[in-house]
Amino acid sequence: KRAVRLKVSALQRPQPPLPDLVYCFAPLKQGRLDYLVQKAVEMGAGVLQPVITQHTQVAKPSIDRLRANVAEAAEQCGILAVPEVREAEKFDRLLTGWDKERRLIFCDEDASTNNPLPALQAVKEKKLGLLVGPEGGFSDDERKMLRALPFVIAIPLGPRILRADTAAVAALAVMQATVGDW
C-alpha cells in the first residue's frame, strides 16, 4: 500500500461560514442554468434550491452538474465553504415546508412599483431566502399563494421584463447591496 501523510503547519485563512441566503430558482435550460448557478455562488448564496413551478421548463435538473458548477464557481472566486445544492422541490412543497423565521423575498414582475429598495430596506431579518421565477414568470395562482404568506415580501426588478437568468443576477445584486454581507 502506498500512503501519504501530511502535516498542517499553518492556517492561511480561516474558513468563513456560508452566507445565510437560501437561493430558490426555477431550473432553466442547461447553458443558462450553468450561468445562473455560477453567479449565485459568486453573489453569496449559501444554499441553492431548485424549485419546480407551473411554468418551469426543465423538470429534473442534473444535481451532479449543478454541484460541479457550484464547486467550480467557489474555486474561481476563492470561496472556501462550498454552498449546498438541494434536490429540486415542487413549489407548493417548498412553501409549506419553509422555515417561517426566514423571510422569503420573491421577484414579482407584477409588483405595483419599479423600485425594490424600499421593500428590501424594511427587511430586518438576517435569515433570508430569494425566489426567482421561471421563464414566463410565476402563474397567477403561484403569485396569489406567495402574497398570502406573512413571511413573503414581493419585490420588483425595475420596469423591464428580464430574462430569468438576468433577473437572478439582478435580484442577488440588489439584495446583497441592501441587506446582504457586502
Residue 167 carries which side chain, given as an amino acid letter? A
Q: C-alpha cell of 113?
A: 412599483
Q: What is the mean pLDDT of residues 148-153?
A: 95
Structural domains of the chain sorted by starting position, each given as residue range(s) with its CATH number in brackets: 21-179 (3.40.1280.10)
pLDDT in tens, 8-33: 888 888 878 888 899 999 999 888 99
Whether 176 shows a pLDDT value over 80: the answer reads yes
CA distance to 42, 76, 82, 83, per residue, from 16 (Å) = 15, 16, 10, 12
pLDDT in tens, 30-82: 889 999 999 999 999 999 999 999 999 888 899 999 999 999 999 998 888 89
What's the CA gap between 104 and 24, in Å, rounded? 9
- Specify the pLDDT at position 101: 93
Beta partners for residue 50, in sequence order? 25
Angle value at C-alpha 86, between 80 and 91, nearest 5 degrees: 140
- 0.85 cut: is pTM over it? yes
What's the CA gap between 164 and 156, in Å, rounded? 13
Whether 1 shows a pLDDT value over 80: the answer reads no
